[in-house]
């Protein structure tokens, strides 16, 4: 793809994963991965004086709402943009 094909909200593929464009800069685009992601929750147990960690995979769509987003936004530079497509590439 080329930089001028991107707009906020556009869904695209890169590295075998589905992404959504969240910002378009002058030379980069920013996006969030729409694939299921790992969540780590840490709870402080006051009585035991310890922390308990819980990890799980979720595909809950509420994590994709924003801005701000609950998931990491990634920056795609010029070479990365060229690797993006509007159809699945399955090259992960």
Task: Report the percent of the chain where pLDDT is more than 90.
Answer: 85
Query: What's the pLDDT band for 14 if we cut at 50, 70, 90?
Result: very high
Confidence (pLDDT) at 3? 97
Q: Is 62 exposed, middle or buried (0-12, 13-18, 19+ CB in 10 A)?
A: exposed
Confidence (pLDDT) at 47? 80
Round to whole Å and give the CA distance between 42 and 45: 10
Q: What pLDDT digit, counting tens, does each position of 34-72 carry?
A: 999 999 999 988 887 889 999 999 999 999 999 999 999
On the question of pLDDT at 91 being above 60, the answer is: no
- Residue 84: count of CB within 10 angstroms of its CB: 21
């Amino acid at each position: 793809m080329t930089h001028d094909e991107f707009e906020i909200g556009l869904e695209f593929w890169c590295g075998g994963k589905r992404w959504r464009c969240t910002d378009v800069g002058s030379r980069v685009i920013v996006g969030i991965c729409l694939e299921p992601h790992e969540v780590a929750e840490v709870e402080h147990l006051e009585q035991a004086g310890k922390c308990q960690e819980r990890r799980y995979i979720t595909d809950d769509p509420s994590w994709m709402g924003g801005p701000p987003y609950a998931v990491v936004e990634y920056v795609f530079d010029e070479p990365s943009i060229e690797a993006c497509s509007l159809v699945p590439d399955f090259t992960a």
